[in-house]
Structure formats: structure tokens, C-alpha cells
Amino acid sequence: MLEVIIISSIKVIVVVIAVLTACAYATLLERKVLGHMQNRLGPTYAGPYALLQPIADGLKLIFKEDLVLNNIEKTTFTLAPIIAFVPALLSFAVVPFAADFEMFGYPVTGVISDLNIGILWVFAVTSLGIYGIVLAGWSSSSKYSLFGGLRSAAQMVSYEVAYGLSIIGVILIANTLSMRELVDQQANIWDWYIFKQPFGFLLFITCAVAETNRAPFDLPEAESELVAGYHTDYSSMKFSTFFIAEYANMLTVAAVATTIFFGGWQGPILPPIIWFCIKVFIFMFCYIWLRATFPRFRYDQLMNFGWKVLFPLALLNTMITAAFVMLKG
């Protein structure tokens, strides 16, 4: 029993450190990729190839003065960044990152917790992050922050329905909610669910970008309209926590998409964990590519697209898949 607790604790520590490190270096990746796409260099000074830039940014934010205005709700204002960040971290508890292996002679599963309702866990936990954004806007002194929080709530409601429906097709075909079983079913590349549910994947990734408030769906921040949106009044590490939460949510989406549609850690020759990291990296690159390519939606376009386009298409995809599975069975 003690060995199980120790091994589980080691897995948790390793995953948390890996996610936090990935979030830090995702900021460098974004700045470098956007720089090359926009014909500029991006960071160059902090360390060889700017590899120390995330560390420099982190130290800068730690030592910045933490400004707290007088006319805010201080308790909620302080807790909001944590509420936004923790759910993204918790979702990695059920994401299988490698095949089973041995540690010190003991068998170890390549997932922190192999829940038989892993997909439901991810969607339930990540949905809680919106409370951090809404509470940040509500507790701030700026009306811009309040508007940003309200926008984020409406955006989440609008896209969450299609987001959930987009993976129903995979669940109907796989007949499981366990993310580990989903990976096991995709041992061959032609068994990847991207080939069985290509339309579901397009819906999933579109809704996921909106759910994580990334361009072109970054209306809760919308610098040209709301200054900085829900985090206008934040500074120092509180602001940094929101920043980390955004990248943690992006990593969550990349990891879940990899697991559900692209075979997870499955792949030839290379170790499983390397294949998992490569697939997640590709998704992160595409996230940044979208930001460099598409202009921001207007708010009315955002809402119309969610309710009048994505939701009907997701519902149609679910009905067609259900009919196909029923006839095949």
C-alpha cells in the first residue's frame, strides 16, 4: 500500500512540474512563432536561443509590486486566479500520457488516475475554470473587467453545448468514457478517431479554442475594446496566474484532443511519452498559428456562430453517428 502511495505521489509531482514547465515555455513558443510569422525575431537575449526568457519573465513578475485597489472585493479578487488555474491542472489526472511501465520493480500505469468516466471528469472540471474569470471581473473595480467576465460566461454557455456534443460520436462508437480505453482502441493509425469522426474533431477543436478564450474567440480580453478584459486590475503573480491558467487550458485541450482523436501516446519506434509530447506540441503550434492568422470575431458574430452554426452541426453529427451505430449493431 505504501509503495502505491509513493508511486502515485511521484506521478503527481512529475505531471505538475511538467505542466507548469510546458506552460512557461509555451509563452516562449508563442512569442517566437508569432515573431517569425510576422517577420520579426521575438525574444533573443535571455540565454541561448532565448531559452531562459520564461524564467526571466517569471522572476520579473514575482518581484513586481502587487497593486490592490481600494474598491474591490479583496477575498474574491485574490481567489479568482487560483480558481481559474486549478481546474486545468486537475484535468491532467485522467489523461494517459504513456504506456504502462515498471518503477523500482513495481508496475506503474501511464495515467495518474484511470477513471472509467475520465471524459466526464475532464469536461466537468474544466468547466469550473469559468468561475475564476467571472469572479475576477465581478470583484474588480473596473467596468471593463466586469464586461469581460460577463462575456466569458456567455461565451462558455454558448460553446459548451456544442463542445460536449462534438465528442458524443466518439463515445457512441467506442462505447466507453475511459480515456485509457480510448487510447487502447486506437493502437493502429487507421483506428484513430480522427478518421471515424473528422467532422466531430473539427467541431471539437473550434469549440475548444472558444472555450479557452483564444484568438479569434478572445472576446473576454479584447484589448481593443476592454483594455485587458477581466484581468485589467491584476498585477504581479495574480496576473501571472491567469496567464498560466490560459496556457494550462490550452495544454489540456491539446492533451484531450490527442487522446480522443489521435491515438494518445500510440506510435511507432519512439517511446510513448515522446509521441504524446509531439502530438500535444503540434496542437499548441496550431493554437498559435490561429492567433497569427484570423482576426477577432465581433461579439454578435461569436454568439451567432455558437448557437446557429456549431450547435446545430454538433447535434446533426450526433444523430447521424447514433443512427449509424444503431444500424451497424
Q: What is the DSSP string of 278-317?
A: HHHHHHHHHHHHHHHHPPPPPHHHHHHIIIIIIHHHHHHH
Query: How many whole angstroms separate alpha carbon 305 and alpha carbon 297?
Result: 10
Q: What is the pLDDT of residues 1-39, one digit of tens each?
A: 677 788 888 889 999 999 999 999 999 999 999 999 988
| Residue 23 burial by Cβ neighbours in a 10 Å radius (0-12, 13-18, 19+) | buried
Indicate if the pLDDT at residue 226 is higher than 90. no
Residue 32: enclosing H or E segment and its boundaries?
helix 2-37
Mean per-residue pLDDT of the chain: 89
What is residue 239's predicted lDDT score, i.e. its pLDDT? 85
Q: Please state the pTM of the whole predicted model.
A: 0.92
Task: Could you list the beta-strand ranges (E) of the chain.
Answer: 101-103, 106-108
What is residue 9's predicted lDDT score, i.e. its pLDDT? 87
Residue pair 278/131 in contact (Cβ under 8 Å)? The answer is no
Query: How many whole angstroms separate alpha carbon 240 and alpha carbon 79?
Result: 13
Q: What is the pLDDT of residues 40-93, one digit of tens each?
A: 888 988 888 899 999 999 899 888 888 887 888 888 988 999 999 999 899 999
Query: Which residues share a beta bridge with 106?
Result: 103
Q: What is the pLDDT of residues 147-179, one digit of tens each?
A: 878 888 888 888 999 999 999 999 999 999 999
What is residue 222's predicted lDDT score, i.e. its pLDDT? 66
pLDDT band at 275 (very low <50, low <70, confident <90, very high): very high
The pLDDT of 246-260, averaged and rounded, is: 94
